[in-house]
Amino acid sequence: MDLTTPPRPFDLLGDFPELSAYARPAVRLHPRRGEPTVAQSSIGGPLLWPADEAWPLCYLDHDDTSIEPYDAALRLRHQEGKIEGMRGRTGYLDFTAQMEHRRTLASSLVDAAGIAYGADEPRPLIPVAQMYSCDVPGLPFTDRFDLLQILWCPRDHVNTRNLAPHCPAFQVRWSRADPTAALVTDPPEPDLCNGEYLPAPCILYPEVVTEYPDMRNLPEPLEHALRGWHRDEDEDEEEWSTAYSFDTALAPGWKAMGHGMYWGIIDPFPVVCECGAEQLPLFTADSSEFDGGTGSWRPVEEAGSGGLLQNPVGVTIGRAYTLQLYFCPESETHPCRSVMS
């Protein structure tokens, strides 16, 4: 299946040809519910993980804003998938009703689980993304690696170096795939989680698009010109152009590389590695594939699908934010950093 971004509704380079110097390719991953295998690129799917390699653990301190038993959250996620399926592929999904249903059921399962909540020994991470370089063009370090795997701890973390607060904590693994090796078939699972951080198994349908920076990262004269681009006459002069930020420059949804996401809750700042190099966007986890302001990015093949495909992964970051993972281009051994925006 191919998923294709519609042509952008505005001629950005026709009006601002100087922006071509800032263009970067990004890969929209287009995750859609399915049953991926270890041989496929996926979100929330099984990992091609060698049996002789230890499964990664989270050694960080947790400060949970929401908690529930992991196995109960998994059952609930699958139940929600059945509810969505019965509603069909058209019609708007009642998000408020769905979340209330989830909280009510999760609460009853927490009461029955009897897990020692206070214990904070290291917990297993869960798979978030597996990307083969043959599927996702432009991944870094392909001279040495052909597989990028991203895991996270599905709980909240605060005041932890290199991490955005109140969100999952990433770990990144670069490797060269060996499908002939003995593999982990039953990875360990955490006992507790925030159910909002459990990605549903999704197959990827990657598509390369062109992105441009958040306008606040551009030279001031160009930023000023863009703020007035296709802006309604009654809008405040200080408002940004949604035609640029939401319809043209930055693709929404789960993606790799590019310019990351629009900085919506904090002002943009350089993400700098300990070595002094500026880090670059590697992976973006999003709370939706599109919303009311970014509907023009809905794939051509899914036009008219309503809101049901708005969040196929089923992850919500904060108040429907995004979580961006940055890497150091100097070395894969340098720590990645994450920013919530």
DSSP of 183-219, one letter per residue?
A: B-SS----SEE-GGG-PPPEE---EEEEE---GGGS-
* Side chain identity, residue 8: R
Range list of β-strands (E), 104-168: 123-124, 126-132, 147-153
Q: Can you identify the CATH homologous superfamily of domain 12-340?
A: YwqG-like (2.30.320.10)
All structural domains of the chain with their residue ranges:
12-340
Over residues 238-281, the pLDDT tens digits come to: 566 788 988 999 999 999 999 998 888 888 999 999 999 999 99
Amino acid of residue 329: P
The number of residues making up the chain comes to 341
193 by DSSP, 3-state: which? strand
Kindly give the confidence (pLDDT) of every residue in the chain, 341 residues in length, as a single tens digit, with 9 standing for 90 and above.
Answer: 899 999 999 999 999 999 999 999 999 999 999 999 999 999 999 999 999 999 999 998 888 878 888 988 887 776 665 544 434 444 445 556 665 666 666 666 666 766 665 556 899 999 999 999 999 999 999 999 999 999 999 998 876 666 677 889 999 999 999 989 999 999 999 998 999 999 999 999 999 999 999 999 999 999 999 988 886 665 555 566 788 988 999 999 999 999 998 888 888 999 999 999 999 999 999 999 998 788 899 999 998 877 768 999 999 998 889 999 999 999 999 999 999 98
Closest CA to 81 of 264, 73, 275: 73
Residues 78 and 102: beta-carbon distance below 8 Å: no
